[in-house]
Amino acid sequence: MATALTSENVRDAWSALGQDVRTAVLLTMRNGRPFGSHVPYVFGSDWTRVYLHLSRLALHTQHLLADPRVSLFIAEPDGPEKNPLALRRINLQGEAVVLSPDTSSYDVIKERYLERFPQAEMMFGFGDFALWEIKFDDAHFVLGFGQAFVSAATAPSKWVHQTVERATPGKG
């Protein structure tokens, strides 16, 4: 029988996935329906905050301006030797806001973003680009078959096995 994973094990696993995979699918709302875009991202101190550097000219940014609800989907790359149904993946749901350059954390986030994506430095000088902060409420993380976990922003370090969880994660 497999050893039960602790919240710390799950945290380490999603953190590793976030380090290994530099782009995600951003799902915005377009005319009431999901619209997916491929975006580079950086996490904040935990999974509850993700930062994107987006152009106002992009469709996904226009969608965010009209409706800030989003989902971000990050998945381990597939390969011929892998079972595609057992790939590590995390799905996060929340809302996006523009991060003002006057915000105390702006310079730190910009520096973190540029460390991960140095080729984006030129775009920080373009007037149509802005840093966006996505504040996530909940997360669903799959490590493989029978290894699905949920967490809530109210207790982001607490991961509950999906089959055990019956109420809102982080409560109780």
Per-domain residue ranges of the chain: 7-161
Backbone torsions φ then ψ of 146, nearest 5 degrees: 70, 10
b or e along 44-58 (b: 16 or more beta carbons within 10 Å of the residue's beta carbon)?
A: beebbbbbbbbeeeb
The tokens for 93 are: 């749901």
Instruction: Determine whether domain 7-161 maps to CATH 2.30.110.10.
Output: yes
* Confidence at residue 167, expressed as pLDDT on a 0 to 100 scale: 44
Specify the amino acid at residue 72: L
Q: Alpha-carbon distance 12 to 142, whole Å?
A: 13
Q: Cα angle at 144 between 151 and 1, to 5 degrees?
A: 100
DSSP secondary structure letter of residue 124: G
Q: What sections of 36-145 are H helices per DSSP?
A: 59-66, 106-116
* Confidence at residue 94, expressed as pLDDT on a 0 to 100 scale: 97
Residue by residue, pLDDT tens for the chain (172 residues) are 456 889 999 999 999 999 999 999 999 999 999 999 999 999 999 999 999 999 999 999 999 999 999 999 999 999 999 999 899 999 999 999 999 999 999 999 999 999 999 999 999 999 999 999 999 999 999 998 889 999 999 999 999 998 754 445 554 4
Q: Alpha-carbon distance 33 to 13, whole Å?
A: 31
* Confidence at residue 1, expressed as pLDDT on a 0 to 100 scale: 41
Q: Alpha-carbon distance 172 to 156, whole Å?
A: 13
